[in-house]
Structure 1
Amino acid sequence: MPTSTPWLRPDSATRYGSVSRLFHWTMAFCFALMFAAALAHFFAKDTPVYELLWPLHRPTGTLLMLLVVLRAAWALLHASQRPPHLSQAARLGHLALYALMLAVPCIGLLRQYGSARGFAPWGIPLMEARGEKIEWMTDLGRLLHGKLGWVLLACVLGHVAMALWHRRSGDTNVLPRMIGSGEAN
């Protein structure tokens, strides 16, 4: 179905539409920021890079959680119009990405709530400070949030590597589906 505005394209069997691409690339930027902050936290504490990036970690993570919920809803609503997965492995890889993109911030928010500290990303109060900690929540968050975050980073890097591999291997070039230029081969 052609549109009168070329920049506002719907999803189709050969490419992702404007809204899907906006979700993808906005989240890619936010994840790059999140992983840069996590790497600075892990490798460069007490440096100017850490001081710049680490305060962005929680508000960006909260934004990512909202975006993944909206993106998943958009994908489900438009599933019949989207390009098909190339294989069962690709389908499972995308499901793993979505599961981790949801689990990591949920566990982070659970830990935050259990800490009894308030949380107001961008000045919007999401959690009020309380008097008593909930240990199982903080323990679960301490155990899983960071570890699953690194697994998510590995999956994201694998996702990028596979997209580039498909481009170079002579197999189906999937990059045009998400870049928005031309048609996928």
Structure 2
Amino acid sequence: MQNSKWLDTPERYGLISRCLHWAMAYLLVWQFVTLVGWRVLGDGTVMRTVSQLGPAHGTVGVLVLALLMPRIAWTVASWRCRQSPDQSFRRRVASLVHGIFYMLMFAVPFLALTRAYGSGKGYEFWGIRLVPQTGQKIAWLTEPADWLHGSLAWTLAVLVAGHVLMAIIPHKRFEPPAVKRMIGAIGGR
């Protein structure tokens, strides 16, 4: 099983890592593209139509949280398989940024759920009550969550954009882009 297409190696990510990565990438890109669309185009027919093509804002947040737990578990379980002899400054910065990604992917939806609780409205996800509806407003919960949710979300968006650029731009002469580890051939070819 050591050479399995499912497992990570220093040369490439396996199918489990790829599926988790691209599912999260889709959710985050969808979230940011629709948010920018709403800001630029407003609440018109175009954005209402586009919004029907993917998950709603709150749904994306809950799905990111739901995928984050198995993604962290798989990252920890695969850590030794991924280790590369390259311990360059760039590789260490990339590891730090990935850690920040994980923290932000947890914090942003968590703050939205905290805000839902603090507003007294609660939050229901696909018929399941995730946050109780209390009917009581708690300002000390909602005010910081209101401010931090958006600020941290846009910080995540900037980091995602930087991540995409760093993945597709070669860094050394003749070095293939890092994105090949995530989309390249299975089996190390």
Scaled to the shorter chain, the TM-score interval is 0.7 to 0.9
Instruction: Give the whole-Å Cα distance in 1 for the aligned partners of 2:148 and 2:173.
Output: 36
2:105 to 101, 116, 122: 101
- SS of equivalent residue, structure 1 residue 140: helix
2:158 to 154, 157, 165: 154
The alignment of Structure 1 onto Structure 2 pairs a total of residues equal to 180
Instruction: Give the whole-Å Cα distance in 2 for the aligned partners of 1:128 and 1:24.
Output: 31
Assess if the C-alpha contact under 8 Å between 2:7 and 2:78 holds in 1.
no
For residues 139-174 of structure 1, the C-alpha deviation after alignment (integer angstroms, 9 at most, x for no partner) is 011111011111100000000000111278533532
Change (3 A) 1:169 1:42: farther
For residues 1-45 of structure 1, the C-alpha deviation after alignment (integer angstroms, 9 at most, x for no partner) is 234xxxx52111211111100000011111111112321333333
Q: CA deviation at 1:137?
A: 1.2
**Equivalences for 1:9-158 in 2 at 5 Å?**
9-52=6-49, 53=51, 56-84=56-84, 87-158=91-162
Assess if the C-alpha contact under 8 Å between 1:61 and 1:105 holds in 2.
yes
For residues 86-112 of structure 1, the C-alpha deviation after alignment (integer angstroms, 9 at most, x for no partner) is 522111111121111111111111111
Instruction: Give the whole-Å Cα distance in 1 for the aligned partners of 2:182 and 2:13.
Output: 6
AA partner of residue 89 (structure 1)? V
Q: TM-score, normalised by structure 1?
A: 0.86
| RMSD value, Cα | 2.3
Corresponding residue number in structure 1 for 2:3: 2
Q: Which runs of 5+ in 1 are unaligned?
A: none
Q: TM-score, normalised by structure 2?
A: 0.85
AA partner of residue 171 (structure 1)? E
Assess if the C-alpha contact under 8 Å between 2:113 and 2:131 holds in 1.
no
Assess if the C-alpha contact under 8 Å between 1:62 and 1:105 holds in 2.
yes
Instruction: Give the whole-Å Cα distance in 1 for the aligned partners of 2:177 and 2:34.
Output: 31
Change (3 A) 1:14 1:65: same
**Equivalences for 1:159-170 in 2 at 5 Å?**
159-166=163-170, 170=174
